Structure 1
Amino acid sequence: MPTHTRIRMFNTQETYPNQSLDNDLCQAVRAGNTVYVRGQVGTDFDGNLIGLGDPRAQAEQAMKNVKQLLEEAGSDLSHIVKTTTYLIDPRYREPVYQEVGKWLKGVFPISTGLVVSALGQPQWLMEIDVIAVIPE
């Protein structure tokens, strides 16, 4: 009996054709009443980058993805308890956090923000992962 539900399973060979990878992953996992959402970037679920060079537009697409994944798992944005945001440039903090803040107004999750040297693809400027709960 599985202990968790995998949401939107994929293989990295298909999603990263420019890299030699072969990993079986998923976009989100529901374990009990907790949902873990994989880092989301400015790419839609068809693989199209939204907002080339625009951190705010990438954050908006990432949050659209988060919303959809949480709903598929039986939760929603209002049940997010933790976010982790990765930026490749500290100057992107304001536009990214302003966009994420619009989506999470009134939610009050805990949050960690990191500036990193790079993300998985050179065109990605930000990434956000979340943990949410499913209310009883």
Structure 2
Amino acid sequence: MPTHTRIRMFNTKETYPNQALDNDLCQAVRAGNTVYVRGQVGTDFNGNLVGLGDPGAQAKQAMSNVKQLLEEAGSDLNHIVKTTTYITDPRFREPVYREVGDWLRGVFPISTGLVVSGLAQPEWLMEIDVIAVIPDKEEA
């Protein structure tokens, strides 16, 4: 019996056609009452980039993806316990964190933020991954 559920499995051959990759991954994993969400960027689940050159718009799409994945796993934004946010330029901190903060108002997760030299695609200006819990029925 599996101890976890993989959500939105994919192969990197389709998601990174410009790179010679062949890895089996998924967007989220539910393990017990914990949900681990893969780094989300400004690309929707059809592979369309939203917000070319606009870190705030990319953050909005990334958070929309996070919301959808958590709901598919049986959780929601209110149950996020940790975020890790990556930006490719320190000037992107304000627009990205404002957008993420709007989505997580009143949640109070722990958070790590990093400025990195680049992400997997040059158009990506930010990325966020999260860990959330699935509450017991009484807590929901």
Q: TM-score over 0.5 for the alignment? A: yes
Number of the residue aligned with 1:38: 38
Kindly provide the amino acid, as one letter, of the partner of residue 22 in structure 2.
Answer: D
Provide, for residues 42-72 of structure 1, a one-character-per-residue CA deviation record: whole Å limited to 9, x for no partner.
Answer: 0000000000000000000000000000000
Deviation at 1:122, TM superposition (A): 0.2
- Aligned to 1:47, the other structure's residue is in SS state coil
TM-score normalised over the length of structure 2: 0.97
Overall identity of the aligned pairs, in %: 87
Q: Does 1:15 align with 2:8?
A: no
State the partner residue of 1:76.
76
- Following TM superposition, by how much is the alpha carbon of 1:3 offset from its aligned partner in structure 2, in angstroms? 1.1
Equivalent position amino acid for 1:80 in 2: I
Distance 1:101 1:86 in 2: 15
Counterpart in the other structure of 1:133: 133
Size of the aligned set, in residue pairs, is 136
Using the TM superposition, give the Cα deviation of residue 38 of structure 1 relative to its aligned residue in structure 2, in angstroms.
Answer: 0.1
Match for residue 86 of structure 1?
86
Aligned with 2:118: secondary structure? coil
Letter aligned with residue 125 of structure 2: L
CA-atom RMSD, angstroms? 0.3
2:119 aligned partner: 119
The runs of 5 or more residues in structure 2 that have no matched partner are none
* Structure 2 CA distance for aligned equivalents of residues 122 and 95 of structure 1: 19
The structural deviation recorded for 1:29 is 0.2
TM-score (ref. length: structure 1): 1.00
**What corresponds to 1:53 in structure 2?**
53
Deviation track 1:1-48 (CA, whole Å, cap 9, x = no partner) reads 111000000000000000000000000000000000000000000000
Q: Which residue of 1 aligns with 2:102?
A: 102
Amino acid at match of 1:123: E
Give the unaligned 5+ runs of structure 1.
none
* Aligned partner letter, 2:48: N
3-state SS in 2 of match to 1:70:
helix
The Cα of 1:77 is off from its aligned counterpart by 0.1
